[in-house]
Amino acid sequence: MKLSKPLWVAIACAVLAGGGYAVYARMTHSASLPEGLIQANGRIEGDRITVASKLPGRIAELKVRDGDAVTAGQVLVLLDSAQVDAKLNQARAAVQALEAQIRAAQTGLAALAKQVPLENATADTGVAQAEAMLQKARAAGEQAERDAKRLEDLAARGSVPQQRAELARLAAVAASADVAAGTQAAARARQQAQEARLGSDKVRAKTDEVAALTAQLGQARAAVAEAEAVRADLTVKAPTAGIVVTQVRNSGEVIGAGSPIVELLDPDRLYLKVYVPEQSLGKLRLELPAQIYVDSLPAQAFPAKVKFIASRAEFTPKEVQTVDERVKLTYAVKLDLDANPQHRLSAGMPADAVIRWKEETPWQRPKW
């Protein structure tokens, strides 16, 4: 049977009306969560950590690839270290040479330190003895000279025999010879004492030598420490545990200081960024509980908490499911996941969330 044109128009209007009602019913149903719950959706994200080298160089070995799980402190990249190794070996050799010189100088100083005090004491005693003998010889010589002159005067007057005067003169000459010998002995003792004092100067010089070598050793050890620090910086380690999400460089590439090499993401510190309309903003506060749902695990709710509420409004991103919500001004809210068991959640996954702002309201799944 052929239908008239008016009848076709009526059927079309009925269909459109039915479809419109269905859309209206779906939109009405999507907002049918009970008072105390707010639903939202977004994508799971995580804070990325860019791993870079402090020093320029050539990548000798890249030990990780995209998707690899790493632990804190794990070696990620080795930069070429040939030049640094050569400087480090040179600095270590200088330290060893200086240590050997210091040991030799300290041995010589110890020997001098033992010898010089004994020589000084002996020399001082010899000087004292020589001076005492010289004084005694001078006194005896002066007495002998006086006796010789007195007897010579008496012999000239005939009071004593001439022979006695001659013997007195011989005694005076012998005493004078003793004075000369004592003078020479005292001079030799003083010379020995001077040489002993020069030994003390040698001790001081050797002490200064040890001090100078010790200072040089400190500088050499500082050079070793600096080279070791540079050598350590050529080994780039993971600052934290995570997953390699981006491999920026490859082995053999030459990089500058601070150039990114890989990017990490900690799977145990994920969050869901959602957008809440202005009329619901006053119901939110930090630390409110939330539950997150993903399509791949529809039966499991992942606990979370509100950790950030934006202070400025923005247009909802296009990735939000409902078209009418995309043109509204909303506020970004971050929901930090309490845990990521078995790392089932990953960055980039779309997810739905329910935020509970009334404690007595029972949990329900999102209704879109």
pLDDT score for 198: 53
pLDDT score for 351: 94
The CATH architecture of the domain made up of 33-69+244-356 is: Beta Barrel (2.40)
Higher pLDDT, 298 or 368: 298
Which residue spans of the chain are classified as CATH 1.10.287.620? 84-232
Q: What is the mean pLDDT of residues 114-120?
A: 55
Rounded Cα gap, residues 368 and 363, in angstroms: 16
Looking at the predicted structure, is the pLDDT value of residue 14 above 90?
no
Higher pLDDT, 152 or 239: 239
Q: What is the mean pLDDT of residues 193-200?
A: 59
Which one of 98-102, 166-170, 320-324 scores highest in mean pLDDT? Answer: 98-102
pLDDT score for 9: 44
**Nearest alpha-carbon partner for 239 in 53, 44, 34:** 53
Q: What is the mean pLDDT of residues 278-303?
A: 92
Helices (H), 254-330: 278-281, 323-326
Under 8 Å between Cβ of 355 and 288 = yes
pTM listed for this prediction: 0.56
Q: What are 163-187's pLDDT values in tens digits? A: 877 787 787 788 778 778 777 876 7
Please provide the DSSP assignment of 115-148 as one string.
HHHHHHHHHHHHHHHHHHHHHHHHHHHHHHHHHH
Q: Give the helix, strand, coil percentages of the chain, each rounded to 5.
A: 50, 25, 25
pLDDT band at 229 (very low <50, low <70, confident <90, very high): very high
84-232: CATH, from 1.10.580.10, 1.20.1600.10, 3.40.190.10, 1.10.287.620: 1.10.287.620
Looking at the predicted structure, is the pLDDT value of residue 146 above 70?
yes
The 10 Å CB-count burial string (b at 16+, else e) for 299-327 is eebbebbbeeeeeeeeebeeebeeeebee
Q: Which of 213-222, 228-237, 322-331 has the lowest mean pLDDT?
A: 322-331
Under 8 Å between Cβ of 244 and 65 = yes
pLDDT band at 139 (very low <50, low <70, confident <90, very high): confident
3 state SS of 222: helix
**Nearest alpha-carbon partner for 195 in 130, 107, 114, 124:** 124
- State the chain's mean pLDDT as an integer: 81
Looking at the predicted structure, is the pLDDT value of residue 123 above 60?
no
Q: Provide the phi-psi class of 347: left if phi over 0, else alpha when psi is between -120 and 50, else beta.
A: beta
Neighbouring C-beta atoms of residue 168, cutoff 10 Å: 22
Q: What are 45-90's pLDDT values in tens digits? A: 998 899 999 999 999 999 999 989 999 999 999 999 999 999 999 9
Rounded Cα gap, residues 185 and 262, in angstroms: 88
pLDDT score for 224: 93
Q: How far apart are the first and last CA of the chain?
A: 42
Which residue spans of the chain are classified as CATH 2.40.30.170? 33-69+244-356
pLDDT score for 127: 58
Q: Which of 154-168, 273-287, 326-340, 353-367 has the lowest mean pLDDT?
A: 154-168
**Nearest alpha-carbon partner for 112 in 189, 192, 201:** 201
pLDDT band at 134 (very low <50, low <70, confident <90, very high): low
Under 8 Å between Cβ of 282 and 316 = no
